[in-house]
Amino acid sequence: MSREAILYEKLPEDKVRCTACARYCEIGKGQIGLCGIRANTGGRLDLLSYGKVITGNVDPIEKKPVVHYMPGTRIFSIATTGCNWLCKYCQNYDISQRRKIEGVDMTPEQVAQIAVERNSQGIAYTYNEPSIFIEFARDCGIEAHKKGLFNIFVSNGYDTPQSVRMMSEFLDCITVDFKGSAEPQFTRKYIGIPDPKPIFDTLIEIRDRTKIHVEITDLIVPQAGDSQEHAKKLAKFLYDNFGSEIPIHFLRFHPDYKMMEFPPTPIKTLEKHYEIAKKEGLDYVYIGNLPGHPYEHTYCPGCNKIAVGRYGFDITSWNLDKDNKCNTCGHKIPITGSLDPNYKRNRFQLVV
């Protein structure tokens, strides 16, 4: 089913300008934006993928990755087809780069109900860029809130003030992936965007105009997007604008899609990025996609003891009191929510 979009402007000669993402595509009558799902139909912009869920899966929230918001919870993750980026290494390319509208017909009420039936505490809009189907995500998110669920975007952050305003209506948490520390040369060659500046602008907009919990990821691509200089600039930007408590995850790259010739990120490269971010003043720095590494844990800035132990997406120890203060020194750890005392590993299965 398709539905008229909300985030767009009408232009002369029946053209429209989409305002859902920072590409601001100007679309002629009968044409479709780069994302593949927002089309000019008779001088109006339609969201072609409204209500078309291409995949749904129950995940641990730590897989997003999100570790400072509602730890240990189960998330119903959904996506539509299409994307506003053209990442040459995308692990979800069959979804994101598909330009045929496909999926299971689901209403927002059905999405929220399935999340409840699968014992999920939240809904994640992920696998492709959620801002391109934000009108559908918003309607799902409103239904989710009615059922006591929270909402998460796993996003590239290539957004607009208009899309951030819509996020503020329903979104509780967002993880923004910079990919290659937002090196302009990397984003142009491997992602297909001319300038990463809108990502930084989006974060400031979220900080100033919403109460959304923010975490940062940075996919470190060896030989292409692993500059220590850019990692330092990113860490400094985060410290200067968000303070020491914003979590950042440096993720290990695995070859996929059109970048099979690249190796996985060397562990030493990830560790160096970790050290740079810590040196720039960030307290909560993590290495991801490397189960068993000691930098998966949350360390207390007060005493440097492990406050939350992790292995992959599993929590292995919880050394915080009911107020999320360190059991060793009493330092307050900025985590929203607390671990359910009945927490245990669950199976996460495909559901649609």
Binding residue ranges for [4Fe-4S] cluster: 83, 87, 90
| Reduced 3-state DSSP string for the chain | CCEECCCEEECHHHCEEECCCCCCCEECCCCECCCCCEEEECCEEEECCCCEECEEEEEEHHHCCCCCECCCCEEEEEECCCCCCCCCCCCCHHHHCCCCCCCEECCHHHHHHHHHHCCCCEEEECCCCHHHHHHHHHHHHHHHHHCCCEEEEEECCCCCHHHHHHHCCCCCEEEEECCHHHCHHHHHHHHCCCCCHHHHHHHHHHHHHCCCEEEEEEEEECCCECCHHHHHHHHHHHHHHHCCCCCEEEEECCCCCCCCCCCCCCHHHHHHHHHHHHHCCCCCEEEECCCCCHHHCEECCCCCCEEEEEECCEEEEECECCCCEECCCCCECCCECCCCCCCCCCCCCECC
Helix locations, the chain, DSSP H: 93-96, 108-117, 134-146, 161-167, 184-186, 197-209, 228-242, 267-279
> Distance between alpha carbon 315 and the CA centroid of its chain, in Å?
20
> Distance between alpha carbon 147 and the CA centroid of its chain, in Å?
22
Please enumerate, by residue number, every residue annotated as part of a binding site: 83, 87, 90
SS3 248: strand
Residue with tokens 């730890």: 71
